Amino acid sequence: MRFMTKTLELNQILEKIGTYAKSDTIKDEILALEPMTDMALIERELLEVSDMLSLISRAGVIPFIMDYDIHELIRYAGLERLYSLQEILYIRLFLKMERDFHAYFRNYQKQKITGRIIDQYFEVLHQHAPLLNYIETKIDEDGQILDDATPELLKIRHGIQKLDKQLQDRLSKLIIDYATYLNEHVIVLRNNRFCIPVKDAFKHKIKGIIHDVSASKQTVYIEPEATRQLTQDIESLKVAEEKEIQKIIALMTDAIAEAKESLKDNLDTFLRLDFLQSKALYAKSIAAEKPLINDTGMITLVSAKHPLLDLKTAVPISLELNDQLRILLITGPNTGGKTVALKTVGLLTLMTQSGLLIPADPSSNIAIFDQVFADIGDEQSIQQSLSTFSSHLTKIIHMIEDVKDKTLILLDELGSGTDPNEGVSLAMAILNKLKTYNIRMMVTTHYSELKSYAFEEPHMGTASVAFDKKTLKPLYYLQMGTTGSSHAFLIAKRLGLKEDIISNAEEIYKGRQTDLAKVMEKLNDEMLYLERQKEKLKTSIEEARLEKASYQQTKDKLIKEQDQLLENIRTKEESKWKALRDEAHQLIDDLKSKKSLSHPEIAQFKYQLNQTVPQSSSYLIEDELRVGDSVFILPYQQYGTIKSIKESDYRVVFGNFDLV
């Protein structure tokens, strides 16, 4: 009784994972999985599954096609036994899968998905392209030998086709010649011979061999003497055909045998990858993550869910067990989530130790245990005629006998099923015994005395499943450090129990309630209030974060648009300046080419130049310029002198030109 996998429903998880396996071999291996205890092996397995999950999320599912078991075929390759055509077809399909896998690997490399542990499996794969090409020249996709598999086979089959045609032609002619003797004008096959159906009264009219007689005795089936030689020739060729086919099969068998070891290596690699991919695909289906692991007994679950629940509606739980808090007592109403919390911790521990990712935040940390014991639910044996109390106690006795350090124990409703006072006393005694070991333990209870006991004992703590007194419904999540009421009165009210009965029960309860119980109940109410305020604060912080992110996104967009606008303006201005410079230079060249100009012409050129050149502000570099300063005028590539400044207008003289 090391790991109670059935009680904690690990078998159901394995069945789900098995549905993703492509080979029966791996499906069987998955169903037989047992939790490991070696930290290094567990960590490596978790890393490889996590790597595989990342790979298939980016590169897609690996193209496995293993609807048949090829183990035995590869094992007896080269053992002086010819493969059948069907077996060679399976080998061909396996080699095609290899080819597809290499294509997948090349795509994997192109995406530069490297540095992963599972790279080792891709890197050791052997290439068998020549073997596949050879087999594809011999058999088709249905496993039939191709006509041109060898020149000799092609010659034989052409001969058979030729003789078949001659035979059919001759039989057709005989049907016409013997039409009056026949019951039907057809050719029939009897004893693998082509025959014609002759009326019994005329059977002596046709030379040949009788191969069959009809049930009515009215028809005899005769192979005509005229076709016997052709039939024998065809049979001879078919014998030669079969010999040639066996020769081809032998050649293919030898070729496969030569690649036996590398084929076996590839098969082992494919099976390992199928195993990892099956785990990864299930992990993807439950949004699982790789947890941290430790050997110090620490269990830290963050936003964990039970994978067999509806993950869309399941409420995540968070809890912690460590060296200071070794035993956790969980209280609260029925159907509030206490048992689910136990099962979640137990199942996620077993999944982790089986190399499986878990539906929890990746910051979760799972201890590796040598044993996981659980007594959950009423699994008593009818054959043993055990009561609920006896059934639970029998299991606990076995746990106490087998307990040792590094054990996780999960007990549901410890001490229930008998007299409450005796049950509480027995529960305390069991806890006193078990806490002497360095174990981790979770216990659910309704007993108030156990709640007080947990507060007083070192290394013990409490948690409760939250309950909403307004809606009278459980909230399912765990509150660490609190004790929960069973809320029997509120639940009774919700179910319709009469008010006077409930009021009377409350009065009786108040009279029996201790001061400590009252303080604990008040503390729980305050904790629930603080938890709600905490959730509201988290919501506000998240909303503020999203608003800030939206603002930053808008800001970045505006800056980008501004930069683009400025770039467009700059590009347009550069084009404009270039055009202006070209036009100005053309005007200057025109002026220089004129030997003599009249005053009206000079005035016209000055007007054109002033119209072409932009205002001084667009081509003068303003840096506290003063009258008399020398400036360089970009469009004309010449220096000029400032003669006057009026506001933003500069009067510049260069050569014979006077510009503003």
The domain spanning residue 28 has which CATH number? 1.10.1420
User: Which residues make beta-bridge pairs with 300?
Assistant: 320, 365
- Position 621 confidence tier, pLDDT thresholds 50, 70, 90: very low
Q: Is the pLDDT of residue 608 over 70?
A: no
- Rounded distance between C-alpha atoms, residue 385 and residue 59, angstroms: 56
Q: Does residue 105 belong to any structural domain of this protein?
A: yes
Of the three residues 194, 219, 248, the one that is the final residue of a domain is 248
> Which tens digit of pLDDT belongs to each residue from 277-303?
999 999 999 999 999 999 999 999 999
Same domain, 315 and 357: yes
Q: Does residue 144 belong to any structural domain of this protein?
A: no
CATH of the domain at 331: 3.40.50.300
Q: Is the pLDDT of residue 231 over 80?
A: yes
Q: Does residue 394 belong to any structural domain of this protein?
A: yes
Same domain, 620 and 648: yes
| pLDDT average, residue stretch 132-155 | 94
> Which tens digit of pLDDT belongs to each residue from 336-347?
578 889 999 999
CB atoms within 10 A of CB 470: 6
Q: Is the pTM of this model over 0.85?
A: no
| pLDDT average, residue stretch 405-432 | 88
Q: Is the pLDDT of residue 383 over 50?
A: no
Compare 401 and 313 and report the one with higher pLDDT.
401
Which pLDDT score is estimated for 229?
92
* C-alpha to C-alpha distances, 161 to 41, 156, 191, 242, nearest whole angstrom: 64, 9, 20, 15
Which pLDDT score is estimated for 394?
86
* C-alpha to C-alpha distances, 482 to 339, 455, 461, 478, nearest whole angstrom: 17, 10, 8, 9
| pLDDT average, residue stretch 421-440 | 89
Compare 609 and 207 and report the one with higher pLDDT.
207
Same domain, 274 and 348: no
Same domain, 161 and 238: yes
**% of the chain beyond a pLDDT of 70:** 81
Which pLDDT score is estimated for 138?
95
Nearest Cα residue to 4 out of 508, 346, 406? 346
Same domain, 442 and 365: yes
Structure-token pair, residue 494: 């919700």
Same domain, 596 and 465: no
Q: Is the pLDDT of residue 348 over 80?
A: yes
Nearest Cα residue to 414 out of 512, 339, 522? 339
Question: How far separated are the first and last CA of the chain, in Å rounded?
Answer: 103
- Position 254 confidence tier, pLDDT thresholds 50, 70, 90: very high
Q: Does residue 525 belong to any structural domain of this protein?
A: no
> Which tens digit of pLDDT belongs to each residue from 201-224?
999 989 999 999 999 999 999 999
Of the three residues 487, 509, 528, the one that is the final residue of a domain is 487
- 515-519, 524-528, 645-649: the lowest-pLDDT one: 515-519
Which pLDDT score is estimated for 407?
95
Mean pLDDT of the chain: 83
* C-alpha to C-alpha distances, 51 to 16, 54, 97, 281, 282, nearest whole angstrom: 20, 5, 22, 12, 14
Which pLDDT score is estimated for 78?
74
- Rounded distance between C-alpha atoms, residue 399 and residue 418, angstroms: 20
- Position 382 confidence tier, pLDDT thresholds 50, 70, 90: very low
- Position 388 confidence tier, pLDDT thresholds 50, 70, 90: confident
Same domain, 27 and 84: yes
Q: Does residue 451 belong to any structural domain of this protein?
A: yes
| pLDDT average, residue stretch 390-415 | 89
Which pLDDT score is estimated for 15?
97
SS3 419: coil
What letter represents residue 416's amino acid? Answer: S
> Which tens digit of pLDDT belongs to each residue from 453-492?
877 788 888 887 766 656 555 566 677 765 545 556 666 6
Structure-token pair, residue 634: 């970009």
632: left (phi over 0), alpha (psi -120 to 50) or beta: beta
Residues of the domain holding 563: 541-612
Same domain, 53 and 103: yes
Q: How would DSSP label each residue in 623-654? A: SS--TT-EEEEGGGTEEEEEEEEETTEEEEEE
Q: Does residue 502 belong to any structural domain of this protein?
A: no
Which pLDDT score is estimated for 616?
42
- 192-201, 329-338, 436-445: the lowest-pLDDT one: 329-338
Which pLDDT score is estimated for 634?
63
- Position 405 confidence tier, pLDDT thresholds 50, 70, 90: very high
Q: Is the pLDDT of residue 607 over 60?
A: no
Which pLDDT score is estimated for 509?
66
Same domain, 41 and 112: yes
Same domain, 439 and 472: yes
543-562 as b/e, with b when 16 or more CB fall inside 10 Å? Answer: eeeeeeeeeeeeeeeeeeee
Which pLDDT score is estimated for 615?
47
Same domain, 299 and 198: no
Compare 625 and 11 and report the one with higher pLDDT.
11
Same domain, 82 and 62: yes
Count structural domains, the chain: 5
Q: Does residue 496 belong to any structural domain of this protein?
A: no
Q: How would DSSP label each residue in 47-104? A: HHHHHHHHHHHHH-------SS--HHHHHTTTSS-PPPHHHHHHHHHHHHHHHHHHHH
